[in-house]
Amino acid sequence: MSPVLEGITHRQILITTGPVALPGHLATPAAASGAVIFAHGSGSSRLSPRNVQVARTLNEAGLATLLFDLLAPVEAADRGNVFDIGLLAARLGAATDWLREQREARDLPVGYFGASTGAAAALWAAAQPGARVVAIVSRGGRPDLADPLLGTVTAPTLLIVGEDDPVVLDLNRRAQQALRCVNQLAVVPGATHLFEEPGTLEKVAGLAREWFRRYLRPAVSAS
pLDDT digits (tens, 9 = 90+) for 67-118: 999 998 888 888 888 889 999 999 999 999 999 999 989 889 999 999 999 9
Measured distance between the N- and C-terminal CA atoms of the chain, rounded to whole angstroms: 48
Distances in whole angstroms, Cα of residue 84 to Cα of each of 62, 121, 141, 222 = 33, 9, 15, 39
Is domain 8-215 annotated with CATH 3.40.50.1820?
yes
Rounded Cα distance between 34 and 134, Å, is 10
All structural domains of the chain with their residue ranges: 8-215
28-79 per-position pLDDT tens digit: 999 899 999 999 877 677 888 889 999 999 999 999 999 999 998 888 888 8
Indicate whether this model's pTM tops 0.75.
Answer: yes
Rounded Cα distance between 126 and 131, Å, is 6
